[in-house]
Structure formats: C-alpha cells, structure tokens
Amino acid sequence: MTPIPERPVAVPRPVLGDPRAVPVIGTDAQLPPLPAQRLTPDFLRERLAQAAGRPPHLPGDGVWVGWGADRDPTSAGVLVPLRQDPAGLQVLLTRRTEHLRHHAGQISFPGGRSEPGDADVVATALREAQEEIGLDPALSEILGRMPVYTTVTRFQVTPVVALLPDALNLHPDPGEVAEVFQVPLAFLMNPAHHRHHQVTVEGQVRRFLSHAWSAPDGREYFIWGATAAMLRNLYHLLGD
C-alpha cells in the first residue's frame, strides 16, 4: 500500500505591522500608462471576453515562505465596480471598519467566499456587494471575469468586473464597511503609481504592491496587498 504523504505544515505567519511603513523599493514608471481608449466600457468588454481561461499575471500578493501550504483552496468572488462618470470610469472601493477580526481598516473590493447557494462566482460577487454596500444587483452590467487570483492564504478569487451607472444610492453595512470611495481608473492604470514594497520579518521576505490615492477632499488612502495586485493584473490584461 502506497503511504499517504504527510501534509505540509505551514510556517507561522509573522506580524507585518503597519504596511504603510514598509519601504518602497521602486515603482514601474518605466511602463506606459494605458491610453484613454483602453479605459472605456467597450474595450473592457472586448478584452475581458478574451481573458477566459488565462492564468493570473501575479501568483499572489506577496511571499510568506511556507504559509498556506496546508490549507485547502477556497473559492471567492469580488466585484470590481466601475462607475460611469463624465470624467472617465471610476473604481469603487471600500474601507473596512476597524473592529473587524480580519483585514480591519483595509481597502478592498466588495466580495468574499462563495456560499453553497451561489450559482457561480458572479453570483458570489453580486451577493457580497449587495450585503456590504447595498448595491442593487440589477444595476450591475457584468463586463466579464478576470483570471482567478490566488492569495497566499489559498483563496482562489475571481474578480468580476461590472459597469455601474453614474447615479447610485448605496447603503453600506456600518458593521463591515466604514466608507465607499472612488478612484479614477486612469490613475490606477498608470504604473508610475504602482509601488513595490519589501521587508524581512522574522527571517521571511514580504513583498507587496500598493497605490497611494489622495482624494480631492484631502483624504489619503493606502491600497495594498491583494486589491493592489488585482488592479495590477487588470493593467496587464488591458495592456497586452
């Protein structure tokens, strides 16, 4: 009888602390920003239709050596909501409340793990968006799915890109979402704003991406980790 191999044991995940304090080791200013014609609903529809089955451009949002090897993959879906605006498409993002057990205060797309009643990951993303920010699923025109993104904690996340109307009446869940804000898609699709961070914590190298957004009203937002990496994947997908 062939012995069953032992399941790998995950290395304990070291505490990173404040990711905003991690040094920036470079940006991708040498890469071109996406031109305006690639940031339109029609182009997104066409390019996302071609993306089915393609692998993600990034393997994960960082490298915790040995972390997650003993975890079973978990399916998840997030909505990448693009609001139509005269100034150009705007990406809606959420800031999580500070009291949450996981990812407190972080910037993220609305979304979460798939539930048994979800027909597919699109249904997951729409359900989560309705629960988190009160977005009526009927207002979302699904433009397509991005390639699956696997996090270091073995979540297999499908970003679902949706086009929303200019006028929205959202009702964020105050227990989960501190605020909903928007960032111009053109800003996020400019690699000069894609910052690379690296730090060594307890002998383990941690690398991640971030985008620093200053809103017109002066508020500062630090977009990092999986959210920043999925936005980076969108840049590659639209720019190929």
By residue count, the chain amounts to 240
- pLDDT tens digit string along 194-222? 999 998 887 888 888 999 999 999 999 99
Q: How confident is the model at residue 15 (pLDDT cuts 50, 70, 90)?
A: low
Rg (CA), the chain: 18
Q: What are 78's strand-pairing partners?
A: 111, 159
Q: What pLDDT, on a 0 to 100 scale, did the predictor assign at position 152?
A: 73
What pTM value is reported for the model?
0.86
pLDDT at 115 over 60: yes
| φ/ψ (deg, to 5) at 12 | -55, 135
Q: How confident is the model at residue 5 (pLDDT cuts 50, 70, 90)?
A: very low
Q: What pLDDT, on a 0 to 100 scale, did the predictor assign at position 213?
A: 96
- pLDDT tens digit string along 141-195? 999 999 888 887 778 899 999 999 998 999 999 988 999 999 999 999 999 999 9
pLDDT at 9 over 60: no
What is the strand order of the sheet 204-214 is part of? 24-27, 195-201, 204-214, 220-224
